[in-house]
Structure formats: C-alpha cells, structure tokens
Structure 1
C-alpha cells in the first residue's frame, strides 16, 4: 500500500496483573486514521507476524490485548501502524517485552471490621478468585497498610500486616481511613494501593483494668517464660494461649486456631513457663486471656516469639587444670553439655580472658576458640592465674555474660633442664631394667642352639665313619659294605743302583662297621706275603 502516513511513535505496553494494554503516540493530521498491531513470540516464529487480537482497526491510541497473552515468561514482540483507506504507514519500531518483567502488582482487596475498640483487617491477594494469574504464589506477598485518622491534622501511619490482622491503639469513636498495597520484596516489586476505605472505631466493651499488660518474654538457654502485669486488686484468672506463626501468613481467618499452653490454664500467677511448646523450626504468638467476675474476659496484646532470636545465651561453665607448664581451660557450653539445641543452632565460640592475679602484673590477655578446651602455655610457677569465659554466636550476633572468675595456683617451679634430665634418667633406667635380662636370655638361647646344631669340635678319626652314615643298616652283610684298602710304602733309593728297598709296609683294612673291621699292622705273616708279592711284581 501507499506510505504517505506517519508511523505511530512511543509504543508502550502497560501490564497490571494479567491485564495488557498497548498505547502509542501519533502526530499525523490525516482524518479517519485507524491503527492495527501485530505480535510475535517464540511459538509463532514459524508462521511469522500475527494480528494482535483486540488491536485491529482501532480509532484511538490504545487497545487492550489481554486475551492474546497466555505465556508470561517468554519474549514477545509488538509493532503498530496507521491506516487511512488505502494509505498505510510504515510499521513502528518493534517493541520487545517479557510480560512478567514489566507487569505491576494490582491492588489487593481490603475488608475492615470495627469491634471492641479495635479494627480487624482482612486483605485478599491481588488476583484472588481469578483463573489466569501472573503471580502464582499468593503467600509470597507482603502487605503494607497505610492508615490515618480522618481529621484535619491527620498523620499517616504505616504497618506491615498479615492477611488477617488487628489494628489497636486507636482513639474510640473516631473515623480512620485505610489503604493497602501488596509487595514482592525479593523481586523488588511494589504494587498499587487499594481504594481508600474508612471505618469508625467503637468503645471497648471490657474495662481495661481486667486485661493483662506489659507482656514480655524472658528466655535464657532455651528456657522460655512469659511475664505480665495485673491491674487493680480484683481476683483474676489467666489463660495463656499460643498460635503457630505460619497460620498468620495464610489468607484464612486464624481466630479459632489459638491453643492453650500446658500448665498455664486458669492460673493466678503472672508468669508462665512455655518452654514445652517451643521448637526451633518456627515462630509463635502468645497472648493472655484474663477472666474476672460475671464471666468477663479480656485478651491482651500479642507478643511474637522467634525462639532462636528471642532466646538469650547464658554464661558458660569453666574448670581449670594444670599439667607441667600448661594451663588447661575446660569449658561447659551454656545450658550444660546435654543441651544440644544451644550447640547445634548457635555455632558457639568462646572468648577467654586470663591474667596473673598479682600486684605487679595485671595485664589481661584474650584468646578466642571454637572448641571447649583451650590451653595457655608457659605458665609461671608459684603464680595465681584467673580466667573467665564468654560465649558468643556470630550468626545471631548474640553473646553471653562472662562466667564467674575461676583461679588456680601453679606449684613451685623446678628448673626445666632438671625436669628434662630427670625424665631422661628415669626412661634410661626403665630401658636397662627391661632390656638387659632380655638380651641375656637371647644370648643363652643362641649358645645352646649353636652348641647342639653347629658344634665347634670334629669327632676323632677312629669314630669319624661312625657318624658318616647315620642311616646305614646294622643288618647288612660284610660283603655289601664298602671297604677301603690302604697301604703305606716306605722306599729308599741307594746310590749303587735303582734297587728299591722296602723297609716298611703297612696294610690296613677299614670298614664302616666295628664287627667287620680289622688291622694287619702287627700280622707278620700277612705283611711278609704282601711284601714278597710286591717284590715279584716290581722285578
């Protein structure tokens, strides 16, 4: 088409909850101009630009396209152009937006009820009872209430409230106006205020003198006590009630969810030990119901108890001990060693102050430890040392009072070198007493073994063969025994010739058995026969 028309400018999208409005500026002067818009998002990319429902042939400079958007966390693209008959303007610059990023929180609902001198406030989430929601989790809203007395000198008051809450400290028979907004602190989003609503307060039906006042909580080492004050001298019975804190975050009425604290029902004292109901996983609200004559009752103000924040840390226990030149400081955690809640939740550390309790040296020294045992080295002999300890928790920014001062007197000193020498001498003596007999016994055993298995003396020759064959049988015949024949010949060579003179001859036969052995040394007949035989062989 022809393009003699100007393009729309300053295209903007306004989002409140799930309500989407498109607006633009147009400076052209052509009469009968209409505007049309197109949009695109990731699921429409294959098909390209599509007509934006609710924004076709619009005569004004704005349109509502809430019905066209269903995905609030995806990128969307929008453009607008002008049209007058056959004339078409160029498309405006494309506007990119993510609905959830540009959306504003709409105004919440507000209901007011005036009763017994107080105003009960009930707030409903911005998208209550709507099928399509921009804000999925209604419980994540924080509500900021602004109220003032409807007078010429009104002063604005602000209060963070729960969906169901009570506003007290208001003047009776006076008109107060209220407005509220829903915020999302984590997303840095502040909502729009609700329309202003006004209501008139009433007189209190019960005399204030009956109510419990000045409620306070005293908590130490996870032992919790509620204290309050009574008014007047009339006889009053009290009932202490508590409410789980998470119930106030819900959008429902919690007035019937209050419970009585065990052993604090129908009491006349002005204190209550409510440690039995406390855990570290939540927070609580407490109040005191007072009952007087003629069945009259009055509820006190509520007091909030966040156990780990409300609780105070008591001083730890301290015990001192000495060994040589060391001072040992033994610490008992607050609440006692059996109190696991204190140890497990507060991540306790300990600040130790110690000093010499003498007139000339009074300098206080400090050390911080995580353990329950600390050591001070090189303490002086014959000196009084004093210690006190404080427990503290860095995560909760809490600290206890210091423990009672504990002191210990070190014994008279002994020169360190003498102590070391004494220890060395004692150790050496012990070693000598234990090792010397052991070495002696080992030496004796060694000699016995060596004597039996490795003797140093050889047996005589006449019995040498006896032990050579320990496994030979004594029943073998003489013919089967190995016999060794030996002879000794002494010869003399003369100058006259080469004749050999047999001057001596010995022949012996030896067997391995005594019964078969014999000697021929003194047998002359045997010797002569052998000599003659040998001479014949030599010739």
Structure 2
C-alpha cells in the first residue's frame, strides 16, 4: 500500500518534517526574520533578514492580502528576489486601508514556511520625505517656493498637501541666522545683505505626525542693491465704507502700484505669482496712499483675507515688492459709537440706542453694552442686551442719571466693538407724572 501512496505520504505518516532531507538534494529553509515595512512618501519598501541556512541560490517571495480579501495574492515587485528587500509601491492604492504581507524563502522546488503576517495601514506607517525648494534672489531678500513632500499626484499626502508646516534654517558664513516656522509654501525672507551668499535647508511636518528630515542645503547669492528700495510699513485702515492703503517712502518723483492676492492661495502649493491682481484706484499713484471701496472685489463686504503688496517705479527703474501685509476685510470694519436718547418717566428712565451707518456691518447682529450711573456717585451698573431699548426703574426722584453705550459684534470667528458713546445725562421727574414703561430693569444705588 505504501508503495502506491508515494514518498511524501511516507514522511507524513512517520511524523517527519515536511521538508526533504539533504541526502535527497533538498535544503532545510527557514522563514525570513525581522520583517519590516518602510514607507517614505509614495515609496513602499519591504525588508527582511535571511537565516543562516538561506545561502546559495535562495530567493524570496512575498504575498499580500488587501481589505476584505480572503486569498493571498502575489506581491508585485517582490517575487523571486535575491536580495533582502523589494519595492511594492504598486500597493499605494491602499494608502488608507489595512493590508497584510508575508514572506518566504525559496530554493528550487523547496520553500520555507510563510513568516507570520505583518499587518499595517500605510498612511500610519509612512515617513515624510524632505520638501523640494526653489529659490529666487533679490537685493535684500530671498523668496522660497516650497514643494510639499511627495509629488503633485502623490497618493499618500493627497489630503495633506496644504496642511504641511515648514521649518527653515538659514545662515551665512557658516553662522546660523534664524529658524523660521511657516504654514504656507511660499515665503520672502527680508532684511538680508545685498551681494551675499545665504544657505538654507527646510523640513516639513504634519500635526500629530513626525517631521521629515531636512532637505539638501540650498545656497544663493543676493543681488546688487536696487536703486529704488521697496515701500515700507504697509498698512490698511477702514473708514466711511472705504479702505485706505498707506505706506512709507522717502524717495521723490516715483509712482506706486498696489496688488492683492486672496490669502488662501498661500495654502495651495505652487507658484501663484500670476494670480496677483491690481487693486482698483491703486495704480500709478503719486502719493503714499490710495483709497478703494469695500465692494472693490464685488458683492460688498466679504469674509476673505488678502495679501497686499506695493512697489515703486521711476522711469525704467522699479523696486522690488514690499513685504506683504494682511488685509482682513471683516476685522477692518469700524463700528461707530451708538446714538443714545434718554427720556424720563416718573422715577424711571427710558433709553433708546441706535446705530450709525449700519450698512457697513448689517450682516452682523449687534449687542449693546449700557453703562448707567447716578451723576453724583461713582458706582456704575452695566447691562448687556441685544435689545435697543431699556428702561431703568425705581430710581430717585429729581435726580440726574447718566448713560453711555457701545456696540458689540460677537461672532464665532471675530469679536469687535465700538468706542463708548458720549454720556447722556437726564434728571428723573416727580412721581405724579404718568409712567410708561416698556421694559424695566431695576437698579438700587
């Protein structure tokens, strides 16, 4: 009977190991050890160590099991490998899903057992590669354009390309100058020396995830000092439904030009220099200010933030652009002090609060803070209400009381307030006058 079952069956019945003995021309193979997955950006590498027995013509192969898969599939790029590592970047499509890998050794028709599977989610395992940096030189500044780790079609960082933070180390003459932390992919480093070599390196990081190693060192020479310096101290204020852009400049007989760029572009990797546009009424300006309306971008007040820059020109000479200033349209809205009227009614005072130029901030509900006091005392009482009318009752007769108020905008992303109005003071009347109280707030001094 045994003669018909064959040699393999004989070994199974005898309880011997499944591998054939060396005398039959086969070798005992051990499972590879120290299985390791190393991922940097979109490059996936599988590593292992060979056993002492894995010598000669031994190769290695790997299999994977993807999400909701019951069968093991040959891992592309990792079949019959003679070294102890292989590239399996083709599996980057599973960047955010759990996969399993296993490896075995092979020699001819002989194979080792499969090693214990390694289970992981590539995104959680991935290291961040160094960013790429492109430099542009000015006379006293260097412009950095940083490309996020990976490539533009990166699968691993597809959702994170605009979330990277960057740390920049810059130096000259082998001495460290500064370390700069930024959240955008473009920055201008100002206040440098002309005709000087500067070197820098950059690393990238994500919140709650490790940072990359530093990029290679990049060096660049600043240029000869420009005949026209850029404008300084760029400022934007709001007044009478207008924005006023101002700056400082000492040279005469020059004209200025101002541009702006929606700030969200700075969160998008790439060169957006072509997206800067002219600010209305701020071209060929011969003074150090220009005025443009709230609706210059269309649609009235917008909840947007812009970067603003200015340069100067004289004939064929043009300065570099100034440092960029932030224009937050919401936060520049000026709320004027409210208008107060107060009417005595017996031992009560009726206060009406009105707003000025409501069209500037009509999309925001106003809250009013009322300060109320007896004219001869220092004690004050405060009321904060959305209502525009208040009645203070149970007051002393024939006594002077004063009121002042300010308007508040209490928004989740922005809080602002006006100055207090000029105090208004009124004397209460005798008790025999008819009371007309719409809303009562009792105060006792």
**TMscore range, shorter length:** 0.7 to 0.9
**Root mean square deviation, CA, Å:** 3.3
User: How far apart, CA to CA, are the structure 2 residues paired with 1:310 and 1:182?
Assistant: 33
2:219 to 167, 191, 198: 198
Q: 1:321 to 1:139 in 2, by over 3 A?
A: farther
Larger radius of gyration: 1
What's the counterpart of residue 46 of structure 2? 22
Larger RCO (CA under 8 A, 6+ residues apart): 2
What's the counterpart of residue 24 of structure 2? none
User: Is 1:40 aligned with 2:61?
Assistant: no
Q: 1:100 to 1:179 in 2, by over 3 A?
A: same
1:376 match: secondary structure: strand
User: Is 1:352 aligned with 2:370?
Assistant: yes
TM-score, normalised via structure 2 length: 0.78
User: How far apart, CA to CA, are the structure 2 residues paired with 1:222 and 1:102?
Assistant: 53
User: How far apart, CA to CA, are the structure 2 residues paired with 1:30 and 1:9?
Assistant: 11
User: Is 1:2 aligned with 2:19?
Assistant: yes
> Larger % of strand: which?
2
2:177 match: secondary structure: coil
What's the counterpart of residue 387 of structure 1? 403
> Larger % of helix: which?
1
Q: 1:330 to 1:146 in 2, by over 3 A?
A: same
User: How far apart, CA to CA, are the structure 1 residues paired with 2:397 and 2:187?
Assistant: 67
Q: 1:83 to 1:307 in 2, by over 3 A?
A: same
Deviation at 1:364, TM superposition (A): 0.6
Q: 1:25 to 1:318 in 2, by over 3 A?
A: farther
2:123 match: secondary structure: helix
User: Is 1:374 aligned with 2:376?
Assistant: no
The CA deviation string for residues 286-344 of structure 1, in whole angstroms up to 9 with x for no partner, is 2223233x4433233221112223445443332223344442332234x53333xx242
What's the counterpart of residue 157 of structure 1? 179
Is the 8 Å Cα contact of residues 66 and 98 (structure 2) preserved in structure 1? Answer: yes
1:135 to 157, 160, 169: 157
The CA deviation string for residues 519-539 of structure 1, in whole angstroms up to 9 with x for no partner, is xxxxxxxxxxxxxxxxxxxxx
1:110 to 133, 138, 141: 133
Q: Give the alignment of 1:415-434 within 5 angstroms.
A: none
Q: Give the alignment of 1:62-73 within 5 angstroms.
A: 62-73=85-96
Q: Give the alignment of 1:441-456 within 5 angstroms.
A: none
1:399 to 399, 410, 417: 417
2:233 to 198, 205, 214: 214
The CA deviation string for residues 475-510 of structure 1, in whole angstroms up to 9 with x for no partner, is xxxxxxxxxxxxxxxxxxxxxxxxxxxxxxxxxxxx
Deviation at 1:389, TM superposition (A): 1.6
The CA deviation string for residues 25-56 of structure 1, in whole angstroms up to 9 with x for no partner, is 456465345433221113542xx112222223
User: How far apart, CA to CA, are the structure 2 residues paired with 1:317 and 1:61?
Assistant: 81
What's the counterpart of residue 503 of structure 1? none
What's the counterpart of residue 266 of structure 1? 284
User: How far apart, CA to CA, are the structure 1 residues paired with 2:239 and 2:206?
Assistant: 35
1:74 match: secondary structure: coil
User: Is 1:286 aligned with 2:308?
Assistant: yes
The CA deviation string for residues 267-295 of structure 1, in whole angstroms up to 9 with x for no partner, is 33322223332632322122223233x44
User: Is 1:275 aligned with 2:293?
Assistant: yes
User: Is 1:31 aligned with 2:55?
Assistant: yes
User: How far apart, CA to CA, are the structure 2 residues paired with 1:195 and 1:116?
Assistant: 24
Flag structure 2 segments of 5+ consecutive residues without an equivalent. 1-17, 21-27, 437-445
Is the 8 Å Cα contact of residues 29 and 53 (structure 2) preserved in structure 1? Answer: no
Q: 1:30 to 1:101 in 2, by over 3 A?
A: closer
The CA deviation string for residues 74-114 of structure 1, in whole angstroms up to 9 with x for no partner, is 32111223456676544333221222332334333222122
What's the counterpart of residue 175 of structure 1? 197
The CA deviation string for residues 442-490 of structure 1, in whole angstroms up to 9 with x for no partner, is xxxxxxxxxxxxxxxxxxxxxxxxxxxxxxxxxxxxxxxxxxxxxxxxx
1:67 match: secondary structure: helix
Deviation at 1:354, TM superposition (A): 0.7
